Amino acid sequence: MTQSVTSLNIAILTVSDTRTPDTDTSGNYLADAITQAGHTLQDRALVKDDIYKQRAVVSDWIARDDIHAVISTGGTGFTGRDSTPEALSVLFDKNVDGFGELFRQLSYEEIGTSTIQSRAIAGFANRTVIFCLPGSTGACKTGWTRIIQSQLDASFKPCNFVGHLTGTM
């Protein structure tokens, strides 16, 4: 018996003081990747690296019944304005500690010790999973292809997040 794809509704948040919708290569990559995987791009936003603007957008998304997952890109480094972990982690009901650990392990294979400057995190809020990735397109590709895609695939075994997001667990 073949299992059908469970299409999830995903929102993408790009956090940047410099990117525009035309230059948002990371957000564009993620939008293409999620639709190619059979999911729906339910919403998308680009905000400045401001804690309260990020929180406002994501708070709205996690309150909606039509969004299962949020993927943010940008704001996870150490510059003065990087604030995504501080902005979004307070919204989490539960942390997904293994996400950041695994992301940095995989990223080490690609960029070496520079990966320690990534503060990639993930968590659940109101039955919505939130993944916070660095702003580079390469980091988004690593995060999507090597971690997130399989966790948003109902057929991935031994476990994935789909049942938690759709209430079928």
pLDDT surpassing 90 at residue 22:
yes
Return the pLDDT at 1. 37
**In Å, how far are 4, 38, 155 from 1, measured between CA atoms?**
10, 19, 12
Which domains, ranges and CATH numbers included, belong to the chain? 9-166 (3.40.980.10)
How does pLDDT run across 4-14, given as a tens digit for each residue? 578 999 999 99
**Number of DSSP helices (H) and strands (E) in the chain, helices first:** 7, 6
Residue for token pair 């320690």: 116
Whole-number mean pLDDT of the chain? 95
Q: Is the pLDDT of residue 169 over 80?
A: no
Kindly report, residue by residue over 54-86, the tens digit of the pLDDT: 999 999 999 999 999 999 999 998 888 899 999
Provide the 3-class DSSP secondary structure of residue 71: strand
Other CB atoms within a 10 A radius of the CB of residue 4 amount to: 8
pLDDT at 93 over 60: yes
78 in Cβ contact with 32 (< 8 Å) = no
| pLDDT tens-digit series, residues 95-121 | 999 999 999 999 999 999 999 999 999
Structure tokens given for 147:
């971690």
Helix (H, G, I), strand (E, B) or coil at 90: coil
**In the prediction, which pLDDT does 43 show?**
98
Give the span between the Cα atoms of 129 and 31, in whole angstroms.
17
Average pLDDT of 148-160? 96
Q: Are 32 and 61 a contacting pair, CB within 8 Å?
A: no
